[in-house]
Amino acid sequence: MLSPQQAASKEAAHRRFGYPTRIAAEERGHTKVRDTLPRFRHGVAGIGIAGDTLRVYVLEDLATDLHIPHEIEGLRAERVLTTGFRHQAVPPRQTRLSPAPCGVSIGHAQPVGDSQLMAHTGTLGCLVDTPVGRCILSNNHVLAGSIGDYIYQPGPSDAAASGSSTRIAALTDFERLRFGGAINRIDAAIAGLHDVALATPDIMTIGLPANPPVAPALGQAVVKHGRTTGLTFGSVVDTSFDGDVYYDGNVAYFEDQIVVVGDSGPFSEPGDSGSLVLDTSGPHPVGLLFAGDDSQTIANPIQFVLNRFGATVAVK
């Protein structure tokens, strides 16, 4: 409950920052006209109370055009910048898309008992042309169970929120992960499309990739679009990383990997596994994202991946 002073300050702020025509309609008792008009004048997104402070939420790009007094009805007035409040809907990259672009949610559900499924969800990295036809490319830990397993878009973890999921491919081949001290160089799998019309080689927000792939270089500017963080930019900080990667209690040792750091915030987060990492000047493929921590991302050099499957990146 607001105190009398807080309520008075809030009411005064509504009058001061209200939409002028609406306020005039209220004063004249024109309720039908009033209810078709915005609450606030241009540039104001809302009004709130925090103790002895009245908060006026102002759209960032219009903040300098709006005068806010130091005090309104005994409460200190504070300008709070916002980009605008929006409903927290499931982003398109985590929903069913037809045809599915690359850079969106993908995955499979693997039976682990009579009535249980283990869901794996990650990112559709790109389309590749292989000796067995056009396939989707992502990680082993996103797609692989048994050869022939169905691959869904979006992945099982996103199906409930998005309302639907469709089988678009079946697992064709994967590089088995070796745990312990054995050397791994890729975490990758391919799945043959049921119909080539079910997916497009365009990467969401990036467009078509370009051939040929390029080797990683120190300081190289890179970009990716993934299921969780969407479009992010970063730089290559290591071109020959050897180290351990943890998989649900198991440890796999990788050699000659790429390490990327984001330009502003993390380059990737869980669920971005499988994203194609591209040179920003191309966009030529550089790597296949598969692991990371809070600030660094690890990717397989893309040529290692393509050589394993005898594949080329689809660009049309």
pLDDT tens per residue, range 129-154: 999 999 999 999 999 889 999 999 99
Contact by Cβ (8 Å): 188, 175? yes
How many domains does the chain divide into?
A: 3
pLDDT at 115: 45
pLDDT at 163: 65
pLDDT at 291: 95
Check whether residue 103 and residue 198 sit in a common domain: yes
Check whether residue 285 and residue 225 sit in a common domain: yes
Q: Is the pLDDT confidence value at 79 over 80? A: yes
pLDDT at 304: 98
Residue 211 lies in a domain: no
For the domain that residue 110 is a member of, what is the CATH number? 2.40.10
Q: What is the mean pLDDT of the chain?
A: 88
Question: In the structure, what pLDDT confidence band is assigned to residue 31 with cuts at 50, 70 and 90?
Answer: low
Burial annotation 257-279 (CB, 10 A radius, 16+ → b, else e): bbbbbbeeebbbbebbbbbbbbb
Residue 312 lies in a domain: no
Contact by Cβ (8 Å): 33, 23? no
Q: How far apart are CA 265 and CA 159, in angstroms?
A: 27
Check whether residue 107 and residue 28 sit in a common domain: no
Provide the whole-model pTM: 0.75
Domain range enclosing 258: 221-307
Both tokens assigned to 227: 């299921």
Check whether residue 187 and residue 278 sit in a common domain: no
